[in-house]
Chains A and B, each alone.
Chain A
Amino acid sequence: MNELTYAIFLPLVGMLAVLLTNKEKPQQARVVGFLFTLVTFGLCTLVALQCFNAGDVDGYHYRVQAVWIDLGGSFQVHYSIGVDGLSGMLIFLTGLLGVCAALASWNIKQGTRGYWAMFLLLHTGVIGTFASLDLFLFYVFWEIVLLPMYFLIGVWGGPRRRYAAIKFFLYTLFGSVFLLAGILVTYFALTATGSGFAGNPFSIPEITAYARVTDNIMAPFGESAHTIATLVFWGLFVAFAIKVPVFPFHTWLPDAHVEAPTPISVILAGILLKLGAYGMLRIGFPFFPKILHEMAFYLGVLGMINIIYGALVAMAQTDFKRLVAYSSVSHMGFVILGFAAMTPESLNGAILMMFNHGTISGLLFLVVGVVYDRAHHRDLGRFGGLMWNMPIYAAISGVAIFASLGLPGLSGFIGEILTLLGSFKTTFYEHAGLITVVCTIGLVLTAAYYLRALQRVFLGETNPECESFPDVDTREIGSMVPLLVPTIVFGIYPAPLIDLIQGPVSSLVLMVKSLG
């Protein structure tokens, strides 16, 4: 029992508390829900701060390990949690976005109790996924995330919410079937006779350590070991890529983002996409370093496709929210690109990208939400000149947009540039330079569609439809500032983030080095 465990299960308690509130007085539910989100945020911050120190047990903090399910023999599932810099950072991000989203969900009118219950359950799922160090536990939390998301989109979403919800659920579940299969095959490989692995076949750290020293953890499969390893690698990759989302599997994202209510889009873009990337760094890559080395080129290409394709499609959008959604596809492409390169710079860049994209895209969705609340549409063509009657709003939006298109001095820039630098000079796979150069085109495209959007929405003379719009009120500002601050601060001084993720990055780099 420690802060991490509390951070995982406090929202669950909160969910029950919310369900016990008076149905007639939705305000109760809101207050209770918000308070629990706030306390959770506090705990998350605590956890993240702890990660600045050196790790206590095998590089992880708040280590807890207790037998959960004992199927006899080597099949022991543990409640095994712990955080390092990477997960600590993402857990902090979760708490932060949680608070902002909570403030943004004040105007959820119907079914308030249910909404907040699901909202808190979502927290449990996400934080649990980031914290679990047991494959099976990871899977269970991973699945738990689906359920509340399904309802949050399907019940409180926009007009095509049901379609979007089912699409989201099926896509992700399709992925998690591969995840489960991968876990099982790994388990059997590690417990099979002829495997040099002595530890717990579900413990992520132990398997990672073993994969570091052995040639191929699938060795017991004999001559087909390499094939099976490759298959499992891609299976896991697909499972995570669907969440990221990587190019062929991205089609659920625009629907989900557009149909979801604003706060949920924030969580979706800010955190759920990171689940996928996190899964790759925590499980997919460390288990199969060699395969990763062989496949890095394809990952790079996928990243490139994501960047360019996402940007081009974003350009074609007339719906503000869709535009932001596709920009997420494009930005996550940089993350994949950075992973593929596996240099210190690129990894730092990619992981910073994960955090900063979390805050920035969250901010952007809030921005969209504000204007949508007023205009009840998101058609870029029907705004204009908002900066005259909504100056504060325009200022915040400006920062968000410039941060997102990677203006130096704002947090978006540092991640992108590090990624590109690292990826350009990497020797981890062939033609990295070429791919990187192509990716830089993405930057230009991004700038293009964002500036166009900026100009169509905020500049020019005020569109008569929009004259009556009031500027953002305190609650809305309150929901945006927590994201605005890191956007600016980490843009100017990213050092804290970088040394937070030092440990994980260096271990990944070591892993790559050990490949020779």
Chain B
Amino acid sequence: MRAIAAATVWADNTPGDYLPLFLLLGLAVLLGATQLIASHVLGKRGVPSPAKDSAYECGIEAETSAHTRFSVKFYLVAVLFILFDVEVVFFFPWAVFFGSGDPAGIFENRQALMQFAFAEMMVFLGILFLGWYWVVKKRALDWEEA
């Protein structure tokens, strides 16, 4: 294929191409804002007073700061979550290719494409689940075992 000279790097392309992105951005902001406002509007608002802020008669004055350190378990689970979560990005190219119906004509017919796509995804999921099974068996997810 042709090597692309540096000049073409600066080739212009219209903001219109990015419209979906901006839409997504707006949507995200909107959603966040709505939730905050909603809670603000719907939530019962009370007047702050010393009596409200202090502990009740039966209670005890707080001695330590509220910021207690999380159990390391949180990190472990979080990390595992991230990994399995991120693996899913590979569904996208798969789905796009499958959905686009093989424009490049790599497979002789749709039948072959479907078979291949199915097998591929099964292998992928199989490996993923094997990993998950291993994690479970290693008791990495259950909380009690320290």
Answer yes or no: A and B touching, Cβ < 8 Å. no
